[in-house]
Structure 1
C-alpha cells in the first residue's frame, strides 16, 4: 500500500529533517510512528500525505509514484486515496457535524442528497447519530475527534494518516478513538499510519515504527 524509498528532506539553513527513510506498509496494516519532538514524524507524514515534497527519494502509494505530481494531481490523490485525522480536529466551526463530514464528497462533486446521506451514515457508524446537527463548539473533544474520523473515512480512502489523534483527549477517550480507527482497519481493510507520543496508545497498533534524528530505527522497516 505504501512504500517510502530513500526519502530525504532538508529545510532552510541546511537543517536535515529526514535522511534516507525507507518504510513499507502492507495493505490493511495498522502502524504507529513514534519518536521525540523534532525527530521528523510530522514531516514524514506530510510527505506521505502529499502536503510537501521530498528533496530525494520516492513515495509510492497503491503502486503509483506520487512525489512529483502536480498540485492538481496531488490534490486529487489526497481526496480519493488518503484520509487525514489531526490532533486539533480541524473542523469548520460554522458547519454542523454532517456538513463537516460531507466536505470531502463536496470536493469530489458528489450531489447534495448523496453527500448528506453518506455523511449521516458515517456519523451513525462512529456513534454520533444524535449529534449530526451540532456544531463543533456544541460537542466534546471525543465527539469532535469522532466527527473528524468520520470525515476522513466518508470518501472510503485506502490510507488514513492520523497525527496525534488522541493528543487532546483523556486516556479513556483516547483509547476509544484508537478502537474506532481499529474497527475501520479491521472491518474495511483501511491502512492506518498514526503518529503518537503515547507509548501505551502505540502498543495498541500492529507495529510500532520508531524514528530518531530523521532516521527510522532498523526494526521500524518491515521490508
Structure 2
C-alpha cells in the first residue's frame, strides 16, 4: 500500500537542514500503524511526503505500487483525491457548513453529481454514529463529534489510506478513546489502511504496528520480521 525506500528530506539551499535520513518501511494494505517520536523527529514531514504534499529530497515513494515521488502537482492532487484521506488534530471543518455538507466536500471536488452527494455523506455520517447530527454546524458539536465528522469526510470517497496527524490531540481522554475505537473499527470493517501520528503511547499500543522516529531515522519498528 505505502512503501518508502531510503527517503531523505532536507530544507534550505545554502546549508541544508536534514529532517529525514534514509527512512525505509512498507505499510501493507489493511494495516494500522502508529508513528511515534519526539518533536522534531520528522513525523510530520514523513506524513506530508506520504500524503503527496511534499517531495523527498532523495529516495523512492510508492503508493499502491505506483512510484509517486516525482509526480506533477496535478497528478498528486488526483491521487490524493482518489486514494488518500486526511484527518487532522484541528478538524478543519468549515464553520458555516452543516455536518453533512462538510462530509460532502471531497465529493464536490471530485465532481460527484449533486444528487448523489447528500445520500453518500449521510451514509458515511451514519457509519461513524452521527446520523442524528447531520444538520448541525461545527459550533453545535462536541470536540469528539467534530473529529468524527472529519473522519467521515476523510472516508466518504472510500480511500485506500488514511493519514491521521494527532487525531486525538485536541480531545479529552474519553473522546480520544472513542475516536481511536472508531478508527480501529473502520480499519477492521472496511479494510482502510491507517498511518497515525501520535504522542500517546497507550493509543499507539492499540495499533498493529508502531514505528518510532528519532532524529529523522527509524529507531524502532514493531513490524514482524
1:110-164: CA deviation from partner (whole Å, max 9, x where unpaired): 0111111000000011111111111111111000000000000000000000000
The question of whether the paired residues in 1 share the 8 Å contact of 2:213 and 2:220 is answered with no
- 2:199 corresponds to: 197
- 2:79 corresponds to: 77
CA offset at residue 94 of structure 1? 1.4
RMSD across aligned positions (CA):
1.1
Q: Which moved more, 1:135-144 or 1:210-219?
A: 210-219
TM-score by length of 1: 0.97
- 2:2 corresponds to: 2
Once the two structures are superposed, the pairs formed by residues 68-147 of structure 1 within 5 Å of their partners are 68-147=70-149
- 2:16 is aligned with 1:11: no
- Residue of 141, 151, 165 corresponding to 2:153: 151
1:43-97: CA deviation from partner (whole Å, max 9, x where unpaired): 0000000000000011100000011111110000000100000000011111111
Q: Which aligned segments of 4 or more residues in structure 1 are displaced greater than 6 angstroms?
A: none
Between Structure 1 and Structure 2, how many residues are aligned? 223
Give unpaired runs (5+ residues) of structure 1: none
Give unpaired runs (5+ residues) of structure 2: none
- 1:51 corresponds to: 53
TM-score by length of 2: 0.97
CA offset at residue 208 of structure 1? 0.9
The question of whether the paired residues in 2 share the 8 Å contact of 1:5 and 1:59 is answered with yes
- CA gap of 1:218–1:146, structure 2 versus 1, over 3 A, is closer
The question of whether the paired residues in 2 share the 8 Å contact of 1:160 and 1:192 is answered with yes
- 1:36 corresponds to: 38
